[in-house]
Structure 1
Amino acid sequence: MDDLLSNVLDAYGGLDRWNAFNELAVKSATGGPFWASKGIPENHGWGNVTIRTAQEWTSISPYDAPDHRMTFTPERVVIEDFDHRLVQELSDPRAAFAGYGEHAYWDIPRRAYFNGYALWTYLATPFLLALPGVQAQEAAPWYEDGEVWRVLQVVLPDSLASHSSEQRFYFGPDYLLRRQDYHLDVSGKARVAHYVSDHAEVQGLRFPTRRHAYARGVDDEPDRNRLLVWIRFTDFRLR
């Protein structure tokens, strides 16, 4: 394991502690102009999000209707009512984005796929970087906000759904995540610089509670005038 990744995992409470739990549940709210570009109301109220720690699986309720929930895996997205009656589903969801550009509208199952993999990625970071098949290697440092940030260049396996297979994770002197860069493959490969802050400690593990994603230039500098998405997390529960 890369030395930087080892220190990062320790700073977040340790891989053994993370693996001792089966699920993480949080309340989440999000907004920002990105959603409007997909034909989705810009501000979403608080929802209940649950992820599994050992596999890429996300559930959100309510979802799109007061009595609906959605369940995501990389292979399939299901939306059902609280009596488990199927409402909508999407199999092989990644392939469903073929030909979808940066300004293409999304239907509900496509939005559910995006929400599912994105929230799992955010809530499982940095521990997902230790999963089998993930390649993580330290790259050149980055200077921002008066700090030297150490950088992990990451390549994710095809079995993990995420924004893009290649991503960069930036860590401060305390080994806590500051920023994550990726291309939004499901939206015309838009370049994104995604910032995290306000870590909370929960049952010995640490999680950022605030996220802001900005458009990123070819020089990797963020365009602070182009906020795409904001996210808030609260009420963390591990079980």
Structure 2
Amino acid sequence: MHPLAQELIDAYGGLERWRRFDTLSAHLVQGGALWGLKGQAGVLDDTNVTVHLKEEWASHSPFGAEGRRSIFTPGRVALLAADGTTEAELAAPRDSFAGHQLDTPWNELQLAYFAGCAMWTYLTLPFLLAAPGVETEAAGEWQERGETWRRLHVRFPAAIATHSTEQTLYVGADSLLRRHDYDVEIAGNTPGAHYMTDHVEVEGIRFPTRRRIFPRQPDGSALDAPLVVSIDLDDIRLG
């Protein structure tokens, strides 16, 4: 592991403390242009997410109607009714995005895959950097918002379902995350710049609670508009 990856993990509470927990849940309020563009406006505007910390698993509830929930794993997504019965499911869900571009609509199972994959990645970083097969290396400094940020290039193994194999983290002088770059492979490799602020501490672990995602240009700069996705978190719990 690169020393900057270790610095990040230590700043967020340390791997030893993180490994004491099995699950993480949070209340989400979400917005931005993406949901309407994909034909899924309103489904996950106000919801709760739970992720497993020792395997790649996530669930959003409610998923649309009250009591309805999703189940995400890399190999399967499903939608469950309030009584627990399976309404719909899809094996090998990532394959269903073949040929998709940014404006290609999603069905509900594809939305469940994207939301589960995204939130599992976001909520397990930076501790995910210590997972088997994850490679990290320095990527130089970056000037933005009157600060100098150190960049960490991350390469994920095929076993981890995430936005893209290659991603970049930006680290402030306080050793906290400022920005997270990736290309959303399942949406035509659309480049995003994901900003994180307003950290809180829960059980000795730090979490950014305000997330804003904007388009990223070829030179690495981010556009001020449109706001692609907004995510505000509260009621974060570790179990």
TM range (shorter): over 0.9
Matched-pair contact (CA < 8 Å) for 1:32–1:229: yes
User: Structure 1: which 5+ residue stretches go unaligned?
Assistant: none
User: Structure 2: which 5+ residue stretches go unaligned?
Assistant: none
Within 5 Å, give how 1:14-163 maps onto structure 2: 14-41=14-41, 44-163=44-163
1:227 is displaced (CA, Å) by 1.3
Distance between the aligned counterparts of 1:44 and 1:154, measured in 2?
28
1:145 is displaced (CA, Å) by 1.1
The aligned amino acid for 1:174 is: D
After superposing on structure 2, the runs of 4+ consecutive aligned residues of structure 1 that deviate more than 6 Å are none
1:175 aligns with 2:175: yes
Within 5 Å, give how 1:189-208 maps onto structure 2: 189-208=189-208
1:185 is aligned to 185
1:42 is displaced (CA, Å) by 5.4
The aligned amino acid for 1:14 is: G
The aligned amino acid for 2:6 is: S
Secondary structure of residue in 2 paired with 1:221:
coil
Q: Deviations over 1:30-88 (max 9, x none)?
A: 11111111011158432121111111110111112212111100000011113221101
The aligned amino acid for 2:230 is: W
TM-score normalized by the length of structure 2: 0.97
How many percent identity over aligned positions? 44
Equivalenced residue count is 239
After superposition, the CA RMSD in angstroms is 1.1
The aligned amino acid for 2:229 is: V
The aligned amino acid for 1:197 is: T
Matched-pair contact (CA < 8 Å) for 2:60–2:70: yes
Distance between the aligned counterparts of 1:161 and 1:17, measured in 2?
24
The aligned amino acid for 1:32 is: G
Secondary structure of residue in 2 paired with 1:40:
coil
TM-score normalized by the length of structure 1: 0.97
1:194 is displaced (CA, Å) by 0.6
Distance between the aligned counterparts of 1:100 and 1:190, measured in 2?
10
